[in-house]
């Protein structure tokens, strides 16, 4: 384990005060995505209408699905007298139109600044309206306390805490995921299935936020983790959580361990050979099963692909940015292919990322610049300084392409300037190879488009004939 001295300290997280070109969104939208992973759930954001509408816009552009988020539409009047009446009216209308079984109530910076006590308001609402059959779950998500990553974890933990109860032991392991693409969720589920694992995966938005065409619009899309499954999570033999960067106070897996003694294993996302091996190894130990043929083939193909492309990848000088869990996994995937990232950045302020990266970058020829609580102005500057030639991250970083000619391999959230954000597959052996191909081919495309001219300029002209 790396000693204290060896842990790289992140570059002064923005000595400057202004945030220029944001790398992250605010807390509630993360909570929205988490709630959309619960069956029969609808979500209501307590605050100004703009918050809900902008969050819908961001989600709509990413998932290309209708994503309904209700608002309590707070106005000036309510900021003075309190938002209780509006919130209750909003709940009335949401319940009438959407008929959810689960209703998540998230807060905005406005509601939190007003000091709204949503626990109390919800409790009194349930009594007043004699609500039965609907679980109303309040989760505070003040936008000034974290990014959408923290909002996602907070909601996931809030949901688990709401439903978990002492229950008989059973064989379903808990699998808790961060904000990854529906394609990655489906791949993880496929792997679990192939390894013979019975599981409860939370929050499962792989279907609710990615519906096949059916000629109809579902107010509450089919799919999601069931309430019954969540309630029985305390009876699981263990929890696998892809939350190595998740703060303890927000960790649903840690909650289950502390309250119900369910052993927690935090793993990195299964993106990259080593990280996928880690998951498979963990699963293997649970069932005693070896790697099934299908996965063994996929692993073999990945290894083959890594060999085939290793020289091209060695030319890669990546910038990796986005949510911490993804940033770690993709950095690892790059490093194991000989393309050590030169800039690693996140909008979150997590205490773990630097620590986790330490062993990875210890022997790097060029030490990467680590940026936390960052913005794209800082990322761009670091990228330029490091002469990065490829970037991996979400659409917010398109300025890297536009201004610095650094091509972007898109992953993460949000993807709003390309189609198919929800279908980006990077998990498992299959997904890792798919990512690797995208990465290598991006380098090649760029190289082939420019190398003739470049070499001519470098060598031909300087001869001075």
Partner 1 sequence: MEDSCALPAAAVACIDERQDSIQTAGTSRTRIHCADDSLAGSVSQRACVFCGARVVLNPVTDAVHLVHGPIGCATYTMDIRGSLSSGSELFRNSFSTDMKERDVIFGGEKKLAACIDEVVEKYCPPAVFVYATCVSGMIGDDIIAVCKAASARHNIDVIPVESSGFISGNKVVGYRAAAEALLRLIRPKDGEVIEKTRKINFLGEYNLGGEKWLAERYLREIGVEINVAFTGDSTVAALKRAPSACLNLVQCTGSMHWVAQNLERTFGTPYMDVNFFGPENTAESLRKIAAFFDDTAITERTEALISREMTRIRPTIEKYRSRLRGKRAAIYVGGAYKAIAIIRQLRGLGMEIVLTGTQTGKQDEYESMGRILSEGTVIIDDANPAELEKFLVEKKVDVMIGGVKERVLAYKLGIGFVDHNHDRKDGLAGFDGSVRFAREVYVTTCSPVWQSLKTALPGGSVHGQ
Helix runs in 270-409, H state only: 273-287, 293-314, 324-335, 353-361, 376-385, 398-404
107 forms bridges with which residues in the sheet? 46
How far apart CA 334 and CA 393 sit, in angstroms, is 13
Binds partner 1 by CB under 8 A, chosen from 2, 12, 13, 21: 21
Span interacting with partner 1, options 3-11, 164-172, 217-225, 443-451, rule CB under 8 A: 217-225
How far apart CA 326 and CA 320 sit, in angstroms, is 9
How far apart CA 346 and CA 353 sit, in angstroms, is 9
3-state secondary structure of 45: strand
The tokens describing 375, both together, are 């913005």
415 is a site residue for partner 1 (CB under 8 A): no
Q: Give, in order, the Cα–Cα distances in Å from 418 to each of 141, 213, 391.
A: 29, 20, 15
Nearer to partner 1, 29 or 306 (CB): 29
Nearer to partner 1, 309 or 422 (CB): 422
From the CB of 41, what's the least distance to partner 1, in Å?
10
323-352 residues in contact with partner 1 (CB under 8 A) are: 347
How far apart CA 105 and CA 111 sit, in angstroms, is 11
How far apart CA 273 and CA 291 sit, in angstroms, is 14
Span interacting with partner 1, options 209-217, 238-246, 303-311, 315-323, rule CB under 8 A: 209-217
Binds partner 1 by CB under 8 A, chosen from 70, 188, 334, 356: 70
Binds partner 1 by CB under 8 A, chosen from 2, 6, 13, 66: 66
Span interacting with partner 1, options 205-213, 308-316, 358-366, 418-426, rule CB under 8 A: 205-213
250 is a site residue for partner 1 (CB under 8 A): no
Binds partner 1 by CB under 8 A, chosen from 11, 22, 231, 274: 22
The tokens describing 427, both together, are 């998990």
Nearer to partner 1, 132 or 166 (CB): 132
Nearer to partner 1, 419 or 465 (CB): 419
From the CB of 418, what's the least distance to partner 1, in Å?
14
From the CB of 45, what's the least distance to partner 1, in Å?
11
User: Which position has the token pair 């996602």?
Assistant: 152
20 is a site residue for partner 1 (CB under 8 A): yes
How far apart CA 364 and CA 79 sit, in angstroms, is 53
Binds partner 1 by CB under 8 A, chosen from 2, 12, 13, 53: 53
26 forms bridges with which residues in the sheet? 147
Span interacting with partner 1, options 15-23, 320-328, 337-345, 441-449, rule CB under 8 A: 15-23
How far apart CA 237 and CA 287 sit, in angstroms, is 12
47 is a site residue for partner 1 (CB under 8 A): yes
130-189 residues in contact with partner 1 (CB under 8 A) are: 142-145, 147
108-137 residues in contact with partner 1 (CB under 8 A) are: 108-110, 113-114
Span interacting with partner 1, options 57-65, 239-247, 296-304, 405-413, rule CB under 8 A: 57-65
User: Which position has the token pair 């993804």?
Assistant: 326
Binds partner 1 by CB under 8 A, chosen from 32, 78, 272, 388: 78
Contact 432, 302 (CB under 8 A): yes
How far apart CA 131 and CA 135 sit, in angstroms, is 9
Binds partner 1 by CB under 8 A, chosen from 32, 34, 55, 262: 55
Select from 166, 162, 193, 203 the least CA-distant residue to 31. Answer: 203
Nearer to partner 1, 39 or 298 (CB): 39
């Amino acid at each position: 384990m790396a000693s204290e001295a060896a842990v790289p300290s992140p570059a002064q997280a923005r000595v400057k005060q202004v945030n220029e070109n944001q790398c992250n969104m605010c807390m509630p939208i993360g909570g929205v995505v988490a709630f959309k992973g619960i069956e029969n759930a609808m979500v209501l954001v307590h605050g100004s209408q703009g918050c809900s509408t902008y969050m819908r816009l961001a989600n709509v552009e990413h998932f290309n699905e209708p994503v309904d988020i209700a608002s309590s539409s707070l106005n000036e009047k309510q900021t003075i007298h309190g938002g209780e009446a509006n919130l209750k009216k909003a709940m009335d209308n949401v319940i009438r139109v959407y008929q959810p079984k689960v209703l998540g109530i998230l807060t905005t910076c406005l509601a939190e600044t007003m000091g709204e006590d949503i626990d109390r308001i919800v409790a009194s609402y349930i009594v007043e309206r004699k609500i039965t059959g609907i679980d109303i779950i309040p989760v505070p998500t003040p936008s000034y306390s974290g990014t959408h990553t923290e909002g996602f974890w907070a909601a996931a933990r809030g949901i688990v805490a709401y439903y978990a109860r002492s229950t008989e032991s059973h064989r379903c392991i808990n699998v808790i995921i961060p904000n990854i693409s529906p394609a990655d969720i489906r791949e993880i589920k496929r792997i679990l299935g192939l390894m013979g694992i019975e599981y409860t995966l939370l929050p499962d938005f792989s279907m609710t936020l990615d519906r096949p065409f059916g000629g109809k619009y579902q107010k509450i899309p089919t799919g999601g983790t069931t309430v019954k499954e969540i309630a029985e999570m305390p009876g699981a033999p263990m929890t696998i959580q892809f939350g190595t960067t998740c703060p303890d106070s927000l960790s649903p897996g840690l909650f289950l361990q502390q309250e119900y003694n369910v052993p927690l294993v935090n793993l990195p996302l299964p993106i990259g050979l080593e990280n996928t091996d880690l998951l498979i190894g963990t699963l293997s130990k649970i069932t005693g099963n070896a790697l099934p043929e299908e996965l063994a083939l996929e692993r073999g193909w990945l290894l083959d692909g890594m060999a085939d492309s290793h020289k091209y990848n060695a030319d890669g000088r990546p910038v990796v940015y986005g949510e911490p869990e993804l940033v770690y996994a993709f950095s690892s995937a790059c490093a194991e292919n000989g393309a050590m990232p030169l800039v690693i950045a996140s909008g979150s302020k997590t205490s773990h990322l630097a620590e986790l990266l330490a062993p990875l970058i210890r022997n790097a020829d060029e030490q990467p610049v680590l940026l936390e609580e960052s913005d794209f102005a800082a990322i761009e500057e670091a990228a330029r300084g490091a002469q990065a030639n490829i970037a991996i991250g979400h659409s917010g970083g398109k300025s890297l392409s536009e201004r610095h000619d650094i091509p972007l391999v898109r992953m993460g959230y949000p993807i709003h300037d390309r189609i198919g954000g929800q279908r980006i597959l990077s998990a498992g052996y299959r997904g890792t190879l798919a990512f690797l191909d995208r990465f290598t081919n991006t380098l090649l495309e760029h190289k082939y488009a420019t190398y003739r001219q470049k070499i001519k300029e470098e060598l031909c002209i300087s001869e001075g004939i």
